[in-house]
Structure 1
Amino acid sequence: MAFTSVLRRSASALTPLAGRLLSGQRNLHHHCGGAFFVAMNHTHKIIISNNSSSLVTSFRGYCSSANSPVLKPPSSDDSLIKVLESEINCSEQSFEQDEDIPKDFPFKLDDISGMETVILTREYEGETIKIEVEPSDLVIGDSSSDDDAEKDEPSTLPMVVKVSKTDGPFLEFEISVHPGEIVIDSLSVKIPDLPEDGIRYEGPKFDELDEKIQNEFLKYLEKRGIKASAMKFLHGYTVNKAHREYANWLKNAKEFLEA
């Protein structure tokens, strides 16, 4: 009888506790899929499932999370870096042609990465021909026009051509290369020995010269390799140079931000 009385008192004492646990389990089932929380070390909580395998899985997840390395907090410049990456990919996909120099290309090409100007040189019958091209001078259509047809116009590549001999005067042409056509914009006869003071006579405007003289100077340049076939390659190469230098500039900026 004494034992039975003790058992009944124990059972009656446990009834409220069981009720509270069951009530808590019902409430937690609504939020956490049938699991309930047990406090650990007063600071951490772990989800324990009614299924023993779920308990192992949950515990492994907890340990994995607790022991994982601390991730570097996102940089405030991440959005800028992503925009740069996108622009780099776009620029690298914009190359127009293969950059292999044709075997019959008459000039030696000097292109230093990071430098603006492309230099081409050749020797011809005792003369030195030097061409200077700057990709930033490339003109594509008419950007000031709202006409789509004009925006699709082929690009124009300005360049400077110098023809010199061992000493004395030399010729300096400013020309514009269009697809299939070369136009002389100006011609100067440079005389090195003239005094520095005073204003030099630059000569007449080229388009005001007699048409026969204009045509003969065009033939003069063509004999020295300034012709449509060679300039077509140079035109495409310069477009690629512009994209390449732009992409490198973007990469340098991105590397700085990521350092």
Structure 2
Amino acid sequence: MARVFRSLRKTLTLAHQLQRQLSISPQMSRRTYISEMRKSAFEGNILRFLRSEIQYELQSSPPNNPITKFNSFMIDGRPGERWITLRRQYADEEVKVEVTMFDGAVPASSANGEVANSDEMQLHITLIVTISKGEGGVLEIMCSAWPDSIEIKRLLLCGNVKVPAEPYAGPEFRELDDELQDSLYDFLEVRGIDDELAVFLHQYMKHKDKVEFIRWMERVKSFIERK
């Protein structure tokens, strides 16, 4: 008799658990459905926005094929990165110029040095010029490229021996003698780092900025579309 009661109690317990599951399942199912619907709606809105932006960017000014050469420099556009690299040979030297995309801006100035318009900005590009002479060491020159000019910021000479953790980088460029400053600008100019290059880089980076923006949106869209 005790065995019968235990069996009956077990059966009633299982029936009670099953009843609870049946009463909870529809509620959980509804919550899951609503959650999935919201997720789908959010993703749909994002995808519509991305497709619209991509189409607008492509139609407003379609990207051109990347330029691979400027004067004596060969250009590596480094797709997907914030940098490009220019290389050339000058006599027995290897000249490499690493260039950032736009990394700053200052208010534009008028001819008399005053701010022309608070809405007008001059975009800034950083250049790292590396000039190598084989066993003769490496000269690294940090520059700024403004829309129509190159500005030297600092020079660092590295030998073939191990570079100290914190090497002496020399004085600020503007602290050097004026004639020495002019000579260093001439030194860069004969190697192709001049105002003409600054103008070209600003045009190039405007195009790269657009291309990278479209590429970024395409990658985000592909990720969201992935199931």
How far does residue 95 in structure 1 lie from its aligned partner after superposition?
5.8
1:244 matched residue in structure 2: 211
Equivalent residue number for residue 198 of structure 2: 231
Question: What does residue 107 of structure 1 align with?
Answer: 73
TM-score w.r.t. length of structure 2? 0.69
Give the aligned partner of residue 193 of structure 1.
Answer: 161
Identity among equivalent pairs (%): 29
Residue of structure 1 equivalent to 2:146: 178
- How far has the Cα of 1:195 moved from its partner? 5.5
1:12-54 alpha-carbon deviations (Å, 9 max, x no partner): xxxxxxxxxxxxxxxxxxxxxxxxxxxxxxxxxxxxxxxxxxx
Q: Which moved more, 1:217-226 or 1:94-103?
A: 94-103
Deviations 1:124-176 (A, max 9, x none): 010010000121x432445xxxx992331232211111111112321111111
Specify whether residues 157 and 188 from structure 1 end up closer, same or farther in structure 2 by C-alpha distance, changes over 3 A only: same
SS at structure 1 position matched to 2:124: strand
Gap runs ≥5 in structure 1: 1-72
Inter-CA distance 194–229: structure 2 relative to 1 (3 Å threshold): same
* Structure 2 counterpart of 1:119, from 81, 85, 90: 85
Tell me the equivalent position of 1:255.
222
User: Are 1:157 and 2:114 counterparts?
Assistant: no
CA deviations 1:76-128 (Å, max 9, x no partner) are 21111122223324444676996664976220001232233211100001001
Q: Secondary structure at the match of 1:150?
A: coil
Structure 1 residues 164 and 255: alpha-carbon distance in aligned structure 2, compared to 1, 3 A threshold: same
User: Aligned to 2:104, which of 139, 142, 152?
Assistant: 139
The correspondence for 1:129, drawn from 86, 90, 95, is 95
Structural RMSD (CA)? 2.8
Give the residue type in structure 1 aligned to 2:189. Answer: E
Query: Structure 2 stretches of 5 or more lacking a match?
Result: 1-36, 108-114
2:190 is aligned with 1:217:
no
Amino acid corresponding to residue 198 of structure 2 in structure 1? M
Name 1:52's counterpart in structure 2: none
The range that moved more, 209-218 or 224-233, is 224-233
- CA distance in structure 2 between the aligned counterparts of 1:96 and 1:241, rounded to whole angstroms: 12
* Counterpart mapping for 1:77-116 below 5 A: 77-92=43-58, 101=67, 105-116=71-82
- How many residue pairs are counted as aligned between the two chains? 181
1:86 aligned counterpart, secondary structure: helix
| SS at 1:202 equivalent | coil
Shift of 1:213: 0.7
Q: How does 1:17-36 map to 2 (within 5 A)?
A: none
Query: 1:78 and 1:243, CA in 2 relative to 1: closer, same or farther beyond 3 A?
Result: same
| Equivalent in the alignment of 2:175 | 208
Larger Rg: 1
